[in-house]
Amino acid sequence: MPDAKAPLDLLLLPTWIVPVEPAGVVLRDHALGIRDGRIALIATREEALRWPATEVRELPGMLLAPGLINAHGHAAMSLFRGMADDLPLMTWLEQHIWPAEAKWVDEAFVRDGTELAIAEQIKGGITCFSEMYFYPAVASEAVHGSGIKAQITIPVIDFPIPGALDAAEAIRHGLELFSDLKHHPRIKVAFGPHAPYTVSDDKLENIRMLAEELDAGIHMHVQETAFEVQQSLEQRGERPLARLARLGLLGPRFQAVHMTQISDEDLALLVESNTSVIHCPESNLKLASGFCPVERLWLAGVNVAVGTDGAASNNDLDLLGETRTAAMLAKAVAGSATALDAHRALRMATLNGARALGMEQDTGSLEIGKAADMVAFDLSGLAQQPVYDPVSQLIYATGRDCVRHVWVDGKALLDAGRLTRLDEDRLIATAKAWSERIAGH
């Protein structure tokens, strides 16, 4: 009998637990106990009910899984959702998004857009996300108040951006944010150089040096389109990934976002350097950017995570839906129905994301001692019946509307579908006000 003086804070009794690590495991009629925000117990239902617990919660028909990790996005761009659809990437950027950002993006825009995105993500079962946008200090304040976890990246680009006149100022602000947040329990700060075609060698070398000094991640759009690769070959005589390798940026801390164009040489560089790839299938499909060869990467040993990208190019922040698309697309690209099976797809959206962001020691799987970052999916509905394999059902037959509960560090951020810290009605009203302002000009 465990020590009665140390009761569990919360004992959860779902129908299924999918810990993700070990891989491929489904625990039926088991329970998970939380103490001080960490996972303290995973045991059979019968054994767990012998433990003292402050609160015991039955979750019939529910699958308890690690919280989803959205490994790439631009949260505040939620306020541009649907503004410039059905356009190729560079037209979308140069003629629509960049001018709109120059006109509208300020601290208030980032605060409101980030809160809107956080609320959407929590309701979709996301407990941690990677953020790449302007005014990162403002975004970090929104993260702090919401209870979610995040990697906040420092935007670096060769031309002036909202909040910074040049790359040097952006990096200076970023270093201040590193100092301010170095002990924050839920926020990691990383560098976010935009893309190889918008950041010069000297800036990238400076970022590499600072990232090594601070043990910080580097998060960057890389080889998103065939045009980007061709332009680099014509202008520099080398592929973007080869350039980044030459400059010393690749490695376990580097997060290569998109990577729809991968040659044999690129694959060798990714494997050799232990670089993570962040796959954003729906944004890539919508912008016709190309197809990341996920199964090829996976079989070679590359860590592949999944991200939504921003709502301006997706147009939602639905990581469960994104993961379903990733699984389907991987099969088509590989020409194999066995590519990226349901269990591996869930791992890509959880533990692989944590590993890409350098957080795998703390989150991404349900293991004793890890943070209690979890989501309960309700598989009791009509569209989920019958349930032969709950993980297949989750990936192939379940939508984010089945998310019932979300916990981060053991604290409920979504309870029976209701946000506990954010005011949904206020966020909707604020978003409508922004759309009226932007559409009216």
Residue 435 lies in a domain: no
Q: Are residues 286 and 376 in the same domain?
A: no
Joined tokens for residue 247: 């400059």
3-state secondary structure of 147: coil
Q: Are residues 254 and 278 in the same domain?
A: yes
Residue 202 lies in a domain: yes
Q: Are residues 130 and 212 in the same domain?
A: yes
Residue 21 lies in a domain: yes
Quick one: 175 exposed, middle or buried, by C-beta within 10 A (0-12, 13-18, 19+)? middle
Q: Are residues 218 and 81 in the same domain?
A: yes
Residue 263 lies in a domain: yes
d(CA 109, CA 193): 21
Q: What is the CATH number of the domain that holds 201?
A: 3.20.20.140
Q: Are residues 23 and 108 in the same domain?
A: no
Q: For residues 101, 106, 111 and 112, what is the CA-based torsion angle, rounded to 10 degrees?
A: -60
Q: Are residues 128 and 199 in the same domain?
A: yes
CA atoms within 13 A on the CB side of 216: 28
3-state secondary structure of 273: helix
d(CA 383, CA 393): 10
Q: Are residues 197 and 339 in the same domain?
A: yes
Q: Are residues 211 and 222 in the same domain?
A: yes
Q: Are residues 382 and 343 in the same domain?
A: no
Residues 6+ positions from 256 with CB-CB distance below 8 Å: 220, 222, 223, 241, 250, 270, 275, 276, 277, 278
Q: Are residues 323 and 385 in the same domain?
A: no
pLDDT on residue 441: 62
Residue 433 lies in a domain: no
Contact predicate 48/92, CB 8 Å: no
Binding site feature residues for substrate: 101, 194, 224, 309
Q: How far is CA 128 from CA 15, 311, 409, in A?
A: 24, 17, 11
Does an H or E element contain 330, and which?
A: helix 319-334
Composition of the chain by helix, strand, coil, percent to 5: 40, 20, 35
d(CA 363, CA 48): 22
Residue 422 lies in a domain: no
Contact predicate 112/434, CB 8 Å: yes
Closest CA to 243 of 196, 191, 292: 196
Q: What is the pLDDT of residues 30-89, one digit of tens each?
A: 999 999 999 999 999 999 999 999 999 999 999 999 999 999 999 999 999 999 899 888
Give the count of domains, the chain: 2
Q: How far is CA 307 from CA 1, 120, 317, in A?
A: 43, 14, 9
Closest CA to 279 of 314, 306, 315, 313: 306
Angle between helices 107-123 and 136-146 (to 10 degrees): 40
Closest CA to 122 of 141, 82, 150: 150
Across the chain, how many H-helices and E-strands are there? 17, 17
Q: What is the CATH number of the domain that holds 400?
A: 2.30.40.10
Backbone angles phi, psi at 244, to 5 degrees: -65, -35
Closest CA to 77 of 125, 134, 138: 134
Joined tokens for residue 93: 């950027």
Residue 185 lies in a domain: yes
- Which residues of the chain are modeled with pLDDT < 50? 1-2, 4
Closest CA to 75 of 10, 131, 121, 123: 131
441 residue type, one letter: H
Joined tokens for residue 71: 């490994």
pLDDT on residue 285: 96
Q: Are residues 258 and 392 in the same domain?
A: no
Which residue bears the tokens 């009605």?
425
130 residue type, one letter: S
3-state secondary structure of 266: helix
Largest separation between any pair of C-alpha atoms in the chain? 70
pLDDT on residue 1: 42
431 residue type, one letter: A
Backbone angles phi, psi at 128, to 5 degrees: -155, 140
Q: How far is CA 197 from CA 94, 228, 260, 358, 405, in A?
A: 13, 7, 16, 26, 41
d(CA 102, CA 88): 20
Q: Are residues 271 and 187 in the same domain?
A: yes
Supply the range of the domain harboring residue 60.
Answer: 10-66+371-409
pLDDT on residue 440: 81
Binding site feature residues for Zn(2+): 72, 74, 221, 309
Average pLDDT, the chain: 96
Binding site feature residues: 72, 74, 101, 194, 221, 224, 309
Residue 180 lies in a domain: yes
3-state secondary structure of 407: strand
3-state secondary structure of 366: coil
d(CA 308, CA 201): 28
Q: For residues 296, 302, 303 and 307, what is the CA-based torsion angle, rounded to 10 degrees?
A: -50
